[in-house]
Amino acid sequence: MTTVTHETGSPPASTAGPEHELLTRPVPSSGAPVPVIGLGTYRTFDVSPGQPVDDLREVLRRFHAGGGRVVDTSPMYGDAERTVGALARELDIAETLFLATKVWTRGEAEGRAQFRESERRLGRASIDLLQVHNLVDMHTQLSLLRELKEDGRCRYIGVTHYLSSRHDDLVDLVTTAAIDFVQVNYSLLERNAEHRLLPAAAEHGVAVLINQPFETNSLFGWVSTAPLPDWAAEFGVRTWAQYFLKFVLGHPAVTCVLPATRVPEHVDDNLGAGRGPMPDRAMRQRMVEYFQEL
């Protein structure tokens, strides 16, 4: 594990009312607030038509009722877009969600057709955030995204990847491509984004979404028999999930983190990480050191 951190300052100013409300952070390009805990849908919402969705309906209901708004999906995720759209309409929350999806194909015509299908599946005439998924055919698709944004078909545009080996490519885009969002992998275990990517996003006013905050749940294996440190209660941590998520949210460049789950109780737990104080730089280093000792 790496031990060096490269962020400066404290977590960005977050806004909230009473302590039980979910914190929000602004999208730098617009100033619009978004809640700091989002919902990923990879694998979890990929449910074929006719299969049971009671657990997912309750996940989405609790997420929204608890103040969550950012739901991230993709055509790559099988039936996830369709499932999200159908459940959001059923719950009558479709227009209040911040829906983020992606273009994951090659060619301008294919990208345009895929976006139309995403609109149909999600049931929205305008998407909040449209991203080039894993940088596939990046230049062609980013040009399309700019056109769709100008036409009012999406509010924001961005790029994504889930591998640290592509962070340099993301840095180049953050610094040159005039995007609103970058989505990147970052966790207590995999901290490569701290070196260049997160500082570049902060410097250039690009919002940051975080995927894989639990390292596909492998982080829980590291701590399966370990107690939470008593001092974690100082910033509201009651579970290991909240420890991992608050570590991520403590970085000043991070806008929103995207844990995925199909377990309703886990949604409540994850949302708890978006309330109360966040760890500052010194506390985050203490969190790293404690984790490394396990």
Specify the pLDDT at position 240. 98
Task: Tell me how long the chain is.
Answer: 294
119-149 pLDDT, tens per residue? 999 999 899 999 999 999 999 999 999 999 9
Confidence of residue 273 (pLDDT cuts 50, 70, 90): very high
Nearest CA to 103 among 61, 141, 158? 141
The pLDDT of residue 19: 56
Run of H or E including 26: strand 24-26
Contacts of residue 118, Cβ cutoff 8 Å, sequence gap at least 6: 75, 81, 101, 127
pLDDT at 113: 97
Average pLDDT value over all residues in the chain: 93
Mean pLDDT, rounded, for 160-178: 97
Which CATH code, of 3.40.50.300, 3.20.20.100, 3.30.360.10, 3.40.190.10, is assigned to 24-293?
Answer: 3.20.20.100
Mean pLDDT of 110-127: 96
Average pLDDT over residues 254-283: 97
Q: Where are the domains of the chain?
A: 24-293
Is the pLDDT confidence value at 4 over 50?
no
Per-residue model confidence (pLDDT) at position 160: 98
Confidence (pLDDT) at 20: 74
Say if residues 250 and 196 touch (Cβ distance below 8 Å): no
- The model's pLDDT over 12-61, given as tens digits with 9 standing for 90+, comes to 545 544 457 999 999 999 999 999 999 999 999 999 999 999 999 999 99
pLDDT > 70: percent of the chain: 94
pTM of the model: 0.93
Averaged pLDDT for residues 184-210: 98
State the CB neighbour count (10 A cutoff) for residue 136: 17
